[in-house]
Amino acid sequence: MGYGVFIHRFDSIYKDSPAERYQFPAQYLGRVESCVGDWIVYYEPRKVAQTRGYFAIAKVERVISDPEASGMYFALIEPGSYLDFANPVPFTDTSGVIEKGVLNEQGKISGRAQSAVRPLSPADFQSIVTLGLNESEPLLPRTGEEFAPSGFHDEQVPFEFEQNRERMRFSVSRIVRDRIFRRNVLRAYSQRCAISGLRLINGRGRAEVAAAHIWPVEANGPDIVNNGIALSGTVHWMFDRGLLSLADDLQILISRQTNDPEGIRALVNNSGYALPTRHPIERPHPHFLQWHRENRFKR
């Protein structure tokens, strides 16, 4: 087992779904197999406009052949392991290259930096994750919304590294996942309810809106921003109970089983569509929306 870097770009031609699978050709099979049972970092190349750099972590569960494409494989991601970074990490900062393993003996960037899959040292993994999951300005919870104890002695430490003689183990608590997921989703919607369009900030500076999972965590839904939507309290309750859903084009769907359809329509913004996110990559993914319509929505 070992850490790795998987290159993925928003407009990838591969059949990737970062929270679920990563498609790759046979030339990378050995490198990917060495990551099975361990964590990888997703990286978007610098040549991509508005690149996110290192943008997420995930754990590789197993590798299978692509049944539809000869010579292609899938790295299947362990359910519940994917997590978007609170802060995407650039390839370089003021101190130089973050991933020291791509440097050659002369301290220059080597050809390894171009590899779609490459090994990652424990030290580089720790550096990237520390930067990516650090919340320098944590988003305040809603009024009355308290986080359960995380099991950490210091709540400011959002993840845990445990070093032993052989290797380093890494874990992220559920409370921290929820906090980072909320931060990312609310930022994507500018702290505004995607259904009603309201942006309510209380007197203590807290946004009165929640980050809802479209495909819930308890059903193995991932902590990826395009599996989230910002919703105010009442709308969140209706979405979770299947009284509201979204079409793939983000049209707002109202269940015919509700006892007050006109009341619900009064909560929906005038366009009849969910508000757009800041960036296209943050938009709710049709795959997750389909799950919600098929498993939660009361038609």
Q: Which pLDDT does position 146 carry in this prediction?
A: 46
In angstroms, rounded to a whole number, what is the distance separating the alpha carbons of residues 12 and 185? 23
Q: Which pLDDT does position 50 carry in this prediction?
A: 80
Looking at residues 242-260, what average pLDDT do you find? 93
Query: What's the token pair of residue 147?
Result: 């986080």
Longest dimension (CA), the chain: 71
User: What pLDDT, in 10s, does the model give residues 102-161?
Assistant: 999 888 999 888 899 999 999 999 999 999 998 765 555 554 454 443 333 344 445 666
For the chain, which domains are there? 4-134 (3.10.590.10), 174-295 (no CATH)
Average pLDDT, the chain: 88
CA 229 to chain centre: 12
In angstroms, rounded to a whole number, what is the distance separating the alpha carbons of residues 235 and 198? 11
Q: Are the C-beta atoms of residues 63 and 32 closer than 8 Å to each other?
A: yes
At position 77, the amino acid (one-letter code) is I
User: What pLDDT, in 10s, does the model give residues 166-202?
Assistant: 566 777 889 889 999 999 999 999 999 999 998 877 6
Q: Which pLDDT does position 148 carry in this prediction?
A: 41
Which is more confident, 5 or 48? 5
Question: Which of 13-22, 27-36, 73-82, 198-207 is the least confident region?
Answer: 198-207
User: Is it the case that residue 34 has pLDDT exceeding 80?
Assistant: yes
CA 23 to chain centre: 18
Q: Which pLDDT does position 150 carry in this prediction?
A: 37
Q: Which pLDDT does position 155 carry in this prediction?
A: 46
pTM above 0.75, yes or no: yes
DSSP assignment letter at 187: H
Q: Which pLDDT does position 252 carry in this prediction?
A: 96
